[in-house]
Amino acid sequence: MPDNSEQHRKRMARKKAVVDAAITRADQDKGLLLVLTGNGKGKSSSAFGMVARTLGYGLKAGVAQFLKSRRDTGEEKFLGNQPNVQWHVLGDGFTWDTQNRDADIATAQHGWKIAQGLLGDASLHLVVLDELTYLLKYGYLDAQQVCADLAARPAMQHVVITGRAAPDCLLEMADTVSEIHDVKHAFRAGVRAQPGIDL
């Protein structure tokens, strides 16, 4: 049965009081570590949304893409050309393309050196480590080293890590973790990757 308007007003007032109290309680600022994981679509595009927000404030961002087989994506065309963005593509396919574990490890370790540079740069408000989780999952990078470098970054720097199967140590140290659940994806119905949506 629909609420009458007085009941509705009271319920909304109670809700507002709870929300306002929670907002008042959250009075800290810190550089956040966010992990966006799970099998559903929306991890990297969410991270790039945070890059856009950062740029909107005139702040700087660094992006490292660890596993990427194509260079013709919308995010790189647009964000990669922004003066306040450092854009690094570090993966050249990996695993199923290269089929050479030693070469993959060397690529991963070179990539992590670039990431260490971003994590050491206090002028970067946000650092995105896109698809980093796979390098940890396959053991191409040492998770302890990665976590130590993340912990040593500037106190106010935000970091977003994306990728499926994020290891537990990363989930434990993260401030915010979202797991995107795959309910449906158009690709499985035969739709190819669409510009602006998938790449």
Cβ at position 86, least distance to ligand ATP in Å: 19
Nearer to Mg ion, 137 or 154 (CB): 137
Range 68-107, binding Mg ion (CB under 5 A): none
Nearer to ligand ATP, 165 or 169 (CB): 165
Cβ at position 104, least distance to ligand ATP in Å: 17
Query: What is the distance between the alpha carbons of residues 85 and 127, in angstroms, rounded to a whole number?
Result: 10
Cβ at position 46, least distance to Mg ion in Å: 9
Size of the site for Mg ion (CB under 5 A): 2
In degrees rounded to 5, what are phi and psi of residue 162? -120, 160
Structure tokens at 13: 């007032």
Among 35, 38, 44, 127, binds Mg ion (CB under 5 A): 44
Nearer to Mg ion, 39 or 145 (CB): 39
Cβ atoms of 10 and 136 closer than 8 Å:
no
- Token look-up 């119905």 returns 189
117 contact, one of ligand ATP, Mg ion, none, CB 5-8 Å limit per kind: none
Cβ at position 121, least distance to Mg ion in Å: 23
* Interface ranges with ligand ATP (CB under 6 A): 39-45, 162, 182, 185, 187, 193, 198-199
Is 157 among the residues that bind Mg ion (CB under 5 A)? no
60 contact, one of ligand ATP, Mg ion, none, CB 5-8 Å limit per kind: none
- Token look-up 């007085």 returns 6
Query: What is the distance between the alpha carbons of residues 76 and 98, in angstroms, rounded to a whole number?
Result: 23
Cβ atoms of 132 and 163 closer than 8 Å:
yes
Strand order in the sheet with 176-179: 85-89, 60-65, 124-130, 158-162, 33-37, 176-179
Nearer to ligand ATP, 27 or 72 (CB): 72
Cβ atoms of 73 and 131 closer than 8 Å:
no
Nearer to ligand ATP, 44 or 86 (CB): 44
Nearer to ligand ATP, 25 or 188 (CB): 188
- Token look-up 């450092």 returns 86
Binding site for Mg ion (CB under 5 A): 43-44
